[in-house]
Amino acid sequence: MNVMADDPEEGMLSWDESVFRDEHVFEIDYVPEAFRHRESQMETLKYALRPAVRGSRPLNVVVRGPPGTGKTTAIQKVFAELDHQPGVRAVRVNCQVDSTRYAVFSRIFEELFEYEPPSSGISFKKLFGQVADSLVDNEEVLVVALDDVNYLFYEGEASDTLYSLLRAHEAHPGTKIGVIVVSSDLDLDVIDDLDGRVQSVFRPEEAYFPVYDVTEIADILQDRIDAGFQDGAVPTTVTDRVAELTAETGDLRVGIDLLRRAGLNAERRASRTVERQDVEDAFDDAKHVHLSRNLRALTDTERTLVKVVAEHGDERAGDVYDAFHERTDLGYTRYTEIVNKLDTLGIIEAEYEQLEGRGRSRRLRLAHDEDAVRDHL
């Protein structure tokens, strides 16, 4: 069949076509080839880790900055380079998943030995001993990145975990371990919130990752578009709009997710190009990326509290506790800890108010649209 030049099918995708060249480019775990606008932070990390390549204990580092500013990618980039260096083992621990000292060391054990420690539960001391012995026997230096270390603080496990890592050489002479802690919680003062016994040995270098500005965002998104979309599928005006919306949230991941969703919207219309309307439609979904990521990482008990707050919106903490206690049987101290954690994560807002003659009380409410929270729960 001859396709006429003015055939409306021209701008349409056929069944086996896609606007994407490689959709994986828009996944959360994709590590980009070019890593822009983070040169000085990468230098700090490399400077701190250089001694490890020479067989010495590396410097410790605190990496801080809001979510979606490139912290994890920086670690992944540097660790990929370290993997080719003999005598260095680099292990990244996601503390959202492994939020206790035992879990952190189990993850390190698994990386070193390439199998999981026995699930029947060996004592921490034994687990720790096997990790240290392996490093000494193989003459290896260990670099551990505690990504999202704020979760260790929420669980009260941060000081013990760091103490064991940083003082390993006292119990096991010859052990060389350096630690990078990565925090997205700007209210958390990583160093001040650690025990004195840990502070004295920690003394880290600092690498701060600020929010990207709109031109930096546009640069980075353009790299992703070039790698992930077919040529010409995303006009510059559309990229600029995505960069604007991303800058409003301050989180690059929102922009990357937005591009993927806008591409899927274009495909739904069977269009070869992404239009601005595809972006606007997708933004309503994409801005909840953060929310769903945080909700996914919660325990069942913490989720229960989110549900209770949703049902008892804008009520006093005491009244919310009564409803929560009925369902979980937990005491007030644990309740307060969970409230503080959910408040820090930006899932709920806990605001103090003055009560007449009764001191202060907190009002609890959801920090997001109630329907969005229910959907993602």
Last residue of a domain, one of 264, 287, 310: 287
Which segment of 129-138, 222-231, 318-327 scores lowest on mean pLDDT?
A: 318-327
Question: Do residues 352 and 371 both lie within one domain?
Answer: yes
- For 284-295, letters b (16+ CB in 10 Å) and e give eebbbbbbeebb
- pLDDT, position 368: 84
pLDDT band at 7 (very low <50, low <70, confident <90, very high): low
The pair phi, psi for residue 63, each rounded to 5°, is -110, 120
Nearest to 183 by CA among 103, 294, 71, 97: 71
Question: Do residues 105 and 149 both lie within one domain?
Answer: yes
Domain that holds residue 96: 39-208
Q: Are strands 205-208 and 61-64 parallel, antiparallel or unpaired?
A: parallel
Question: Do residues 243 and 204 both lie within one domain?
Answer: no
* Residue 371 pLDDT exceeds 60: yes
Nearest to 370 by CA among 313, 303, 299: 313
Question: Do residues 64 and 186 both lie within one domain?
Answer: yes
* Residue 75 pLDDT exceeds 70: yes
User: Which carries the bigger pLDDT value, residue 374 or residue 72?
Assistant: 72
Query: Whole-model pTM?
Result: 0.80
pLDDT band at 9 (very low <50, low <70, confident <90, very high): low
- pLDDT, position 341: 86
Check residue 8 and report its DSSP letter.
Answer: G
Nearest to 61 by CA among 132, 131, 147, 141: 147
Average the pLDDT over 18-35 and give the result.
94
Tell me the one-letter amino acid at 181: V
Output the 3-class SS for 108-161: HHHHHHCCCCCCCCCCHHHHHHHHHHHHHHCCCEEEEEEECCHHHHHCCCHHHH
Q: Does residue 233 form part of some domain?
A: yes
Count H helices, E strands: the chain? 17, 8
Tell me the one-letter amino acid at 7: D
Question: Do residues 109 and 154 both lie within one domain?
Answer: yes
User: Which carries the bigger pLDDT value, residue 172 or residue 67?
Assistant: 172
Nearest to 93 by CA among 196, 18, 182: 182
* Residue 1 pLDDT exceeds 50: no
* Residue 314 pLDDT exceeds 90: no
Question: Do residues 259 and 179 both lie within one domain?
Answer: no
Task: Map residue 12 onto helix, strand or coil.
Answer: strand
Question: Do residues 76 and 179 both lie within one domain?
Answer: yes
Tokens of 60: 């410790």
- pLDDT, position 374: 86
Q: Does residue 10 form part of some domain?
A: no
Question: Do residues 80 and 179 both lie within one domain?
Answer: yes
Average the pLDDT over 325-345 and give the result.
88
* Residue 8 pLDDT exceeds 70: no
* Residue 53 pLDDT exceeds 90: yes
* CATH code, domain with 200: 3.40.50.300
* Residue 175 pLDDT exceeds 80: yes
Average the pLDDT over 180-198 and give the result.
92
Task: Map residue 256 onto helix, strand or coil.
Answer: helix
* Residue 348 pLDDT exceeds 80: yes
Q: Does residue 31 form part of some domain?
A: no
What's the order of all strands across the beta sheet hosting 359-366?
A: 315-316, 359-366, 348-355
Q: In this predicted model, what pLDDT tens digit does every residue of 236-273 receive, in sequence order?
A: 999 999 999 999 888 899 999 999 999 999 999 999 99
- pLDDT, position 5: 43
* Angstrom distances, CA of residue 178 to CA of 43, 199, 287, 326: 17, 14, 36, 45
Q: Does residue 262 form part of some domain?
A: yes
The pair phi, psi for residue 354, each rounded to 5°, is -90, 130
Output the 3-class SS for 46-70: HHHHHHHHCCCCCCCEEEECCCCCC
* CATH code, domain with 301: 1.10.10.10
The Cα–Cα gap between 126 and 131 comes to 9
Q: Does residue 310 form part of some domain?
A: yes
* Residue 77 pLDDT exceeds 70: yes
Question: Do residues 241 and 345 both lie within one domain?
Answer: no
Last residue of a domain, one of 287, 305, 325: 287
Annotated binding site for ATP: 69-73, 212, 224
What is the dihedral angle through the alpha carbons of 164, 168, 170, 171, rounded to the nearest 10 degrees? Answer: 90
CB 209 within 8 A of CB 63: yes
Q: In this predicted model, what pLDDT tens digit does every residue of 122-132 receive, in sequence order?
A: 999 999 999 99
Question: Do residues 193 and 250 both lie within one domain?
Answer: no
Length of the chain in terms of residues written: 377
Last residue of a domain, one of 242, 262, 287: 287
- Percentage, residues of the chain above pLDDT 90: 69
Q: Does residue 172 form part of some domain?
A: yes
Q: Does residue 178 form part of some domain?
A: yes
- pLDDT, position 55: 97
Q: In this predicted model, what pLDDT tens digit does every residue of 200-223 receive, in sequence order?
A: 999 999 999 999 999 999 999 999
Count: domains in the chain: 3
Output the average pLDDT for the chain: 91
* CATH code, domain with 265: 1.10.8.60
- pLDDT, position 287: 66
* Residue 358 pLDDT exceeds 80: no
Question: Do residues 159 and 57 both lie within one domain?
Answer: yes
Q: Does residue 234 form part of some domain?
A: yes
Annotated binding site: 69-73, 212, 224
Output the 3-class SS for 261-323: HHHHHHHHCCECCCCHHHHHHHHHHHCCHHHHHHHHCCCHHHHHHHHHHHHCCCEEHHHHHHH
CB 102 within 8 A of CB 125: no
Question: Do residues 260 and 328 both lie within one domain?
Answer: no
